[in-house]
């Protein structure tokens, strides 16, 4: 999301360097959405794949659809709205395939819950795309358990990408991660470090508590506090996959260290207590 005009404004060479750095570090999945960069980032990323088609076999593409954003790239959109109709899903995927210069995406997610979502129609679209080989796996993003359960009653939902971090505990308590374990759904965590504000705030008591505990654990494990907070997510039995938002190659390299750390239960709850400000009941 932050590689294009919404952030670092990478040119093709910068995209190429970042993609190759990720692959060298064993990070092979790239998270997109059609709307990123006001509908420009998929195509910018795809320019690298078109230059070197061999890269496509080394990586997995995740993309999302369902948000209709007001943008110069989409002059037909009069207001921001959601669209999970059969026609919109199919058209969105066809556009994404053209942008990436590929004939399939590995994972397609519905970007947001749609009040007008028709579960049978969505399942029909997903089935159609899978039969054509244009999408291999399907999921949702930002869905609550009951919303996901509706769609899962019509088809297999394989991924749920939600906001989840030491400062956003709702998925731990609202049934999202329980549901992931129950149905074998992969939970992806966007903003896994709480947007980075934890490391800049000097007045927020919660941030100070979390910073103090993560610093102590970081010294124990010989890493930086942000790596501890990634390992905190990775320690959970739902097998949470953090979605890194970095634009810096060195941060990708550093983050990989979290894969080798598993906190003890007491260490995990030390951070939970720091976040909630109280002992568990």
Point out the residues that are catalytic. 36
Which contiguous run of DSSP H or E holds residue 136? strand 135-141
What is the token pair recorded at 237? 């039995």
Q: How many CB atoms lie within 10 A of CB 224?
A: 17
The helix-helix angle for 145-152 and 176-183 (nearest 10°) equals 30
What is the token pair recorded at 201? 């705030």
- The torsion defined by the Cα of 82, 170, 243 and 90, in degrees rounded to 10, comes to -20
Phi, psi of 113, deg, nearest 5: -60, 140
Q: Which residues is 67 bridged to in the sheet?
A: 82
Cβ atoms of 136 and 63 closer than 8 Å:
no
- Say if strands 67-68 and 81-82 run parallel, antiparallel, or are unpaired: antiparallel
What is the token pair recorded at 25? 């570090």
Q: How far is 61 from 30, CA to CA, in rounded Å?
A: 5
Q: How far is 140 from 204, CA to CA, in rounded Å?
A: 33
């Amino acid at each position: 999301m932050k590689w294009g005009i919404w952030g670092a404004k990478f040119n093709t060479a910068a995209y190429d360097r970042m993609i190759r750095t990720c692959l060298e570090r064993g990070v092979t999945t790239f998270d997109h959405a059609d709307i990123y960069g006001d509908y420009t980032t998929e195509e910018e990323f795809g320019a690298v794949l078109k230059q070197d088609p061999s890269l496509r076999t080394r990586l997995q593409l995740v993309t999302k659809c369902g948000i209709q954003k007001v943008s110069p790239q989409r002059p037909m959109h009069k207001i921001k709205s959601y669209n999970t109709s059969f026609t919109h899903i199919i058209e969105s995927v066809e556009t994404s395939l053209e942008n990436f210069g590929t004939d399939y995406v590995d994972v397609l997610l519905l970007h947001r819950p749609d009040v007008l979502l028709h579960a049978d129609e969505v399942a029909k679209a997903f089935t159609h795309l899978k039969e054509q080989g244009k999408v291999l796996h399907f999921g949702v993003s930002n869905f609550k358990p009951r919303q996901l359960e509706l769609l899962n009653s019509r088809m297999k939902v394989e991924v749920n990408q939600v906001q989840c971090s030491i400062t956003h505990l709702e998925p731990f308590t609202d049934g999202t991660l329980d549901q992931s374990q129950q149905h074998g759904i992969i939970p992806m965590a966007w903003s896994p470090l709480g947007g980075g504000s934890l490391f800049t705030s000097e007045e927020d008591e919660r941030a100070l508590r979390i910073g103090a505990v993560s610093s102590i654990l970081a010294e124990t494990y010989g890493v930086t506090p942000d790596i501890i907070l990634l390992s905190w997510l990775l320690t959970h039995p739902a097998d949470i996959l953090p979605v890194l938002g970095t634009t810096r190659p060195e941060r990708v390299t550093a983050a990989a260290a979290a894969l080798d750390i598993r906190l003890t239960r007491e260490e995990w709850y030390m951070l939970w207590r720091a976040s909630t400000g109280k002992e568990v009941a």
